[in-house]
């Protein structure tokens, strides 16, 4: 974004931009999406993501926003979708996470009820907690130099690098401290690090009212189903006694059915593996006269591989299908486990 254009946006009068309704807080506003979340950037892959948990149903339909190559946003407390929609538009036009956050703040007539975290595709991070959010409320961002994190309380925008963690109606500040410190030291993919942080946040006390829903969003350019979109991971737990445990279970399923095979997990389809799979191909699909295989093959010939391919599509292992005489060990284990 050109400096002059950005300066003009920063100076817009509060009434000049579109405002979220209602202008007067609703009578039930104290029960809206109070939660804890973390937004983050992975410099190795370019992934951007949000993890969130709350004592509020379907928090995944309110808080997390992301756009591949642009940024990620968490808007909570009295969530305002403008931080997600307009905030990402501004970042796409060249604003940093902090600049986009401050621009949207200027048009927010209920600013002090908000809590927002933003990160952009360069790793710039910002977090804001309004003065009317409920205790404990505050945030942390990764330190600009990459060492440690910066704590912020109510009424202030804090700026850093890599991630922004924020929480309100928490038992204590330990939840947001755990979010930040666990994310900093966690290993693995962005999704794995976000999940580790979310679990640690709950271990720090979490929402004073308990747990109800959770969500994980990670965006990556062409990272969605068969490369057709950017929704690399988009999982929501609408309502559950332990939404984080359920989110972990769903993430494991998502990896199995939507992540491509890791070359290290590929094994040749030996006669022993054929012996394990052939009875399944001879008797399935259940309740249908035509089976995947008409007769035993004994080896991974072209007929066997075609039958295995069709079976795998039928069972939703779409992204793991191959015709080179190999099979993904994870898929093989899952097939056999389900038929014990």
Which residue ranges make up each domain of the chain? 3-14+31-258, 263-337
Cβ count within 10 A of residue 81 = 13
Say if residue 305's pLDDT is above 50: yes
Q: What are 207's strand-pairing partners?
A: 170
pLDDT confidence tier of residue 1, bands split at 50, 70 and 90: low
Q: Which residue has the tokens 């292992």?
A: 317
Closest CA to 83 of 130, 122, 43: 130
The pair of three-digit structure tokens given for residue 60, joined into one six-digit string: 């995944």
Q: Answer whether residue 29 shows pLDDT above 90.
A: no
CA separation (Å) from 229 to 50, 67, 120? 18, 11, 19
Structure tokens, 101: 């956050």
- pLDDT, one tens digit per residue, over 222-231 is 999 888 999 9
Of 78 and 71, the one with more pLDDT:
71
Instruction: Select the CATH number that applies to the domain covering 3-14+31-258 from these four: 3.40.640.10, 3.60.20.10, 3.30.2130.10, 3.40.30.10.
Output: 3.60.20.10
261-282 pLDDT tens trace: 999 999 999 999 999 999 999 9
Q: Which residue has the higher pLDDT, 94 or 26?
A: 94
Q: Are 215 and 63 in contact (CB under 8 A)?
A: yes
Over residues 176-211, the pLDDT tens digits come to: 999 999 999 999 999 999 999 999 998 877 666 678
Runs of H (alpha helix) within 93-128? 97-106
């Amino acid at each position: 974004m050109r400096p002059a254009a950005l300066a003009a946006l920063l100076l817009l009068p509060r009434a000049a931009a579109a405002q979220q309704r209602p202008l007067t807080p609703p009578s039930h506003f104290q029960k809206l999406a109070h939660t804890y979340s973390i937004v983050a950037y992975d410099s190795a892959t370019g992934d951007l993501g949000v993890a969130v948990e709350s004592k509020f149903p379907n928090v995944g339909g309110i808080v997390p926003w992301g756009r591949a190559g642009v940024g990620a946003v968490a808007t909570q407390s009295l969530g305002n979708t403008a931080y997600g929609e307009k905030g990402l538009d501004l970042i796409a036009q060249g604003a940093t996470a902090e600049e986009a956050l401050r621009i949207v703040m200027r048009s927010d007539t209920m600013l002090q009820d908000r809590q927002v975290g933003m990160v952009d595709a360069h790793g710039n991070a910002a977090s804001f907690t309004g003065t009317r959010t409920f205790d404990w409320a505050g945030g942390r961002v990764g330190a600009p130099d990459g060492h440690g994190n910066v704590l912020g309380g109510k009424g202030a925008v804090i700026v850093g690098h890599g991630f922004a963690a924020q929480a309100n109606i928490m038992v204590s500040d330990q939840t947001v401290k755990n979010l930040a410190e666990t994310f900093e030291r966690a290993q693995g993919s962005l999704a794995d690090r976000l999940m580790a942080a979310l679990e640690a946040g709950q271990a720090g006390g979490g929402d004073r009212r308990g747990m109800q829903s959770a969500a994980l969003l990670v965006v990556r350019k062409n990272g969605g189903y068969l490369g057709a979109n950017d929704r690399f991971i988009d999982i929501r737990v609408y309502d559950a006694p332990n939404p984080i445990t359920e989110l972990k279970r769903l993430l494991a399923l998502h990896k199995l059915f939507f992540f491509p095979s890791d070359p290290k997990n590929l094994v040749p389809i030996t006669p022993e593996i054929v012996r394990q799979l052939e009875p399944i191909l001879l008797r399935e699909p259940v309740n249908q006269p035509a089976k995947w295989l008409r007769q035993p093959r004994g080896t991974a010939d072209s007929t066997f591989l075609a039958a295995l391919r069709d079976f795998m599509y039928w069972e939703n292992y779409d992204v793991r299908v191959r015709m080179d005489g190999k099979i993904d060990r994870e898929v093989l284990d899952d097939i056999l486990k389900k038929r014990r």
